[in-house]
Chains A and B, each alone.
Chain A
Amino acid sequence: MSASDLLGLFPLIMLAGASILVLLAAAFIRRLLVSFVVTLIGLVAALVFVGIAWPHLPLKVAALLSFDGFVLFGFVLILAATVFVAISSWAYLRGRDDEGGDYYFLLLLSSLGACILAASTAFASFFLGLELLSVSLYALIGWRRERAAGTEAAIKYLVLAGATSAFVLFGMALIYEATGSMDLFRLARISSADGLIAPVGLGMILVGIGFKLAVVPFHLWTPDVYDGAPAPVTAYIATVSKGAMVVVLARALGPAFVGNGGVSHVSTAAPPLVAAGFPWVFALIAGLSMFAGNLLALREKNVKRILAYSSIAHLGYILVAFLAGGPQALRAIAFYLVAYFAMTLGAFAVISALSSPEKDADDLEDYRGLAGRSPWTAAMLTTMLLSLAGLPLTAGFVGKFLILSAGAGAELWTLAVILAINGTISIFYYLKIVSVMFRGAEPSPARAGSAGNPLPAEPAPAGVPLSGTVRAPLLAAIAIAVLALAVVALGVYPAPFLSIIGTFTAAGG
């Protein structure tokens, strides 16, 4: 191991060190603030070391990890998202008299897992990252032990994640048997020349990837886990755990699509299987995810579940860009990830801020008349939702545009049209939330239950004891405002940010 190896490893070491420090500190001072501050320091230190490693790209640590511009981009994304989750968790835990030492320990640990996953080049590191991420999440999802839904969600995630881990391991073994390689990047080059076992193994690994991304047909856990987990943890699952997997997917399998027109082209002698035979699988997964996510969200009345279904669709959008291949696509994926991170984190941060100690604010009725009670909070959530819906002036619009451009460049017309149609469907349920916020306290005709209430002036029917206004701590409010600003800035003037992404994706690729 040389000094340059350490350069790449330092961000990871910082995360690991901070997590141990949090645990140690919690053993002596059981104060939420201490754990929170140590976590923040660890995350910022990791970010600083990412900056220090930047000029020395590309870096490689043994055969396990490698660092290029895209990986560091993933690091920044993961770490920044963790900072936001840490902030909104702080507000969330503080309201519940929780000292949260082990909470922050697990949060840092899962971020460490996500970073290892993003940087992994071999089966061993891939699996290590995957498990580190999953195991920490089991505990985080079931954090609120007094709630049956939380425990149920944790068990559900545990069982399914465990099963997919078994799949992944078995797939790795099969591929090793067929090719004699444990190299993650070998996956992109698997061809029909590798025999019949290799594709089976590849398929099994894809199950694991699909599970983490929560794309159809591996999406079944999503609504329950989103609903049962505390709002900040849900935000974390929606962003970091999926983002890390997208990064590794684009790195490991993306090269198979480069120079390939995508689905419509079948190229030379022994083409990489991923690009020649599997695109149909990916295209099918992308199409089904978009449709299933958006259609299932339509009838949902629980905001967290709506966002769960919508995230399934958003990953479907990203897969369209992934299928397109090439630098265009990488840029689209990177931009969309940032946009998706910002708007998802923002939406969940608002949900966290609105949640009372007894109950997360997940019922659509909790949002009725919010614009009248807390106009700023409503404005923030509206920004996030309109961005998720992909409407102009927001990052979501530009992101969708980039994905459509990448798809059109690769002549994926069918998927592009499917994406356009789904963009429309999705607007329905986002607007449903938005218009509930701006509507008065009138009982809507669809809700016969609350129509019997003789006092329509009373906000938040259905017996939800929500406070009249939102009292988010200043730090959480600032975090939300920063995210909203980012969403709008990326939507109005994305040019500078696109060039930043350009340098990230170009460096040491």
Chain B
Amino acid sequence: MILALLVAVPLVFGLAGWALGRRNIDWSRWLTLAANAVNLVIVAVLWAGAAGGFTIGSSVPSSPWLAQLRWPWIPSLGISFSLSLDGLSLALLALTAFLGIASVLASWKGVTEKVGFFHFNLALVLAGVNGVFLATDLFLFAFFWELMLIPMYFLIDLWGHENRHKAAVKFFLFTQVGGLLMLVSIIGLAVVHSMASGSLTFEYTELIGTAMSPVVAMLLMLGFFVAFAVKLPAFPLHTWLPDAHTEAPTAGSVILAGLLLKTGGYGLIRFALPLFPSASHSIAPVAIAMAVAGIIYGGLMAFSQSDMKRLVAYSSVSHLGFVLLGIYVFTSQALSGAVLQMVSHGISTGALFILVGALQDRIHTRDMNRMGGLWKQAPRMGAAALVLAMALVGLPGLVNFVAEFLVLVGTWKVSMAATVLAGVGLVIATVYALRMIQMAFHGGPREKWDIPDLSVMETCVLFIMIGLLVGLGLFPQPLLQIVDKVVAGVLAVIPSGGGA
């Protein structure tokens, strides 16, 4: 019940906000904010329960799930409304609620047109993302997966920047092709399962361990892999990302980078590996190569950008390469590192997009060639940017360091070459992050800007986000602990995996 609330609350509040927003526009802002706050409270309660060792609701004591919910939906097709929560979901749900709040606050002043519809779309994306992180019926998962896309398309297409129409279509095309191939794979898996067992079901826990020939397994796995790799995005499938991130409004970029990309990593860990362990094992070298290529390529591209938002977007390609790497080397450190990287990237990149958005609202350009010397004008903004740049670099003390370090340590045992190359990626990160600070905030002003510093609200949002980065950087244990069981469970099914 409490799990359904996580999906229902944004939906209901978003609708209510849209309806009431016709009278007073602030309603939609406050209600969307409230929805996320409520979700954050729910997640906190669940987390406290999980950490305290007791479980909530109708959970089975011996199962890996912290809470489960199963309502019949389309029984004749073996489809149920089935939500389950484990540590991995919990961590990402917390991130969703947190970034939801941040994105509402970040667009409080910036969005002035169709405010009600904007927040409705925002709430709808968040409901879809929550659903994706919870669904354990594969049909339901595909359902939520698609549900995320439409509002995101609108967010980019209606409130984005100059080239928004093209970027929105490109985003939609890439993710939708992946999503539909995944749908075919899901149906294929259910059919294969029903041929073997005689009963049609889309329930994740029952589909695990379906016996099938290696060729079938590989084909079905590829359907999932492509969908998730596009979303992540893995190297050759990433081309939608720079455009979508650059053109989206600030809140859209925050959600896109902070949450939607994470659904790709989540899908790989939750579905692609456990459902097709041997096929995943045989594709691992390719995935690792894609990851390393992404880390280096993303870094080099980020270095050559003059558009600040595009720089951050390409840095995402680079950093999510670590996630892909961490998932496919099959060691417990690396996988924990990958999960940690998903959270840390969500917060740090979300914060960076908020910062760039705030800067663009003030000077109406993202071109770093026109900035320079902004530190004097806006010292708080400069300081925040510096800390966040350090997060891009992976400076010790910030959670990004812990995550990347864990991934590299875990990779070392499997592939020294990959570790070294990924390490080179970190060096490139130093170069582009410092270049960004130098061009925008240091040096003499190239043009005469007269801008106000961060407002109180912006300062608070960024301060909390940076605080979280530092806090988790110093004490990553609670987060690692909560995903520990999931990581062990996933690695247990991989052949010759788990050799940590």
Contact = CB atoms under 8 A, between A and B. Distances in A.
Interface of A: 371, 386, 391-393, 397-398, 401-402, 404-405, 408-409, 413, 416-417, 420-421, 423-424, 427-428, 431, 435, 438-440, 444, 493-495, 498-499, 502
Contact of B183 (A401, A444, A493): A401
9 contacts: A392-B147, A393-B147, A404-B187, A405-B77, A420-B183, A431-B153, A431-B169, A435-B154, A499-B76
Contact of B187 (A386, A405, A423, A439): A405
B61 interface: no
Contacts of A424: 173, 176-177, 180
Given A397-B143, A495-B75, A498-B74, A408 B158 contact: no
B127 to A, nearest CB: 11
Nearest to B179: A424
A439 B184 contact: no
Contact of A405 (B146, B154, B191): B191
Given A421-B180, A428-B169, A435-B157, A494 B74 contact: yes
A438 B181 CA distance: 29
B146 A404 contact: no
Nearest to B153: A431
B176 A427 contact: yes
B73 interface: yes
A10 B75 CA distance: 36
List 9 tightest A-B contacts by C-beta distance, closest first. Answer: A420-B180, A424-B176, A392-B146, A408-B191, A408-B187, A392-B143, A495-B74, A420-B184, A424-B177
A79 B143 CA distance: 32
A504 to B, nearest CB: 14
A500 B437 CA distance: 65
B362 to A, nearest CB: 24
Nearest to B191: A408
Interface string B128-170: 0000000000010011101101100110011000000100110
B173 A428 contact: yes
Contacts of B149: 391
A502 B76 contact: yes
Given A424-B173, A495-B73, A502-B76, A404 B143 contact: no
Interface string B52-96: 000000000000000000001111110000000000000000000
A133 B189 CA distance: 43
B271 interface: no
B14 to A, nearest CB: 14
B498 interface: no
Interface hub of A427, A428, A495 (most chain B Cβ within 10 A):
A427
B184 A417 contact: yes
A402 B78 CA distance: 12
B108 interface: no
B151 to A, nearest CB: 11
Contacts of A408: 184, 187-188, 190-191
B183 A404 contact: yes
B13 interface: no
Nearest to B75: A495
B30 interface: no
| Contact size range, B | 35 or more
Contacts, number: 86
A193 to B, nearest CB: 33
A413 B147 CA distance: 25
Interface in B179-212: 180-181, 183-184, 187-188, 190-191
Contacts of A416: 184, 187-188
Interface of B: 72-77, 113-114, 117, 139, 142-144, 146-147, 149-150, 153-154, 157-158, 165, 168-169, 172-173, 176-177, 180-181, 183-184, 187-188, 190-191
A438 B76 contact: no
Contacts of A371: 117
A493 B79 CA distance: 11
A431 B172 contact: yes
Nearest to B162: A445
B289 to A, nearest CB: 25
Contact of A397 (B113, B146, B153, B181): B146
B150 A435 contact: no
Contacts of A398: 74
Contacts of B177: 420-421, 424
B154 A438 contact: yes
A393 B150 CA distance: 11
B463 to A, nearest CB: 36
B349 to A, nearest CB: 27
B114 to A, nearest CB: 8
Q: Most chain-B Cβ atoms within 10 A of its Cβ — which of A392, A405, A439, A498?
A: A392
Contacts of A405: 77, 187, 190-191
Nearest to B131: A392
A438 B168 CA distance: 14
Contact of B146 (A391, A420, A428, A439): A391
A392 B72 CA distance: 18
Contacts of B172: 427-428, 431
A392 B154 CA distance: 16
Contacts of A423: 176, 180
A419 to B, nearest CB: 8
A335 B395 CA distance: 57
A389 B144 CA distance: 16
B181 A417 contact: yes
A427 B114 CA distance: 24
B75, B113, B165, B187 — which one has the most chain A CB atoms within 10 A of its CB?
B187
Given A391-B150, A435-B158, A499-B76, A404 B184 contact: yes
A498 B200 CA distance: 15
B23 to A, nearest CB: 14
A386 B150 CA distance: 9
A402 B144 CA distance: 17
Contacts of B114: 438
Given A393-B143, A427-B176, A444-B165, 7 more contacts: A408-B184, A421-B180, A424-B180, A431-B169, A438-B117, A494-B74, A495-B76
Contacts of B184: 404, 408, 413, 416-417, 420
Contacts of B74: 398, 494-495, 498
A258 to B, nearest CB: 18
B253 to A, nearest CB: 19
Nearest to A439: B158
B240 to A, nearest CB: 13
A409 B191 contact: yes
A167 B23 CA distance: 63
B202 to A, nearest CB: 10
Contact of B72 (A494, A495, A498): A495
A393 B127 CA distance: 13
Nearest to B149: A391
B191 A401 contact: no
B260 to A, nearest CB: 16
A58 B294 CA distance: 64
A385 to B, nearest CB: 11
A401 B180 contact: no
A416 B223 CA distance: 12
Contacts of A393: 143, 147
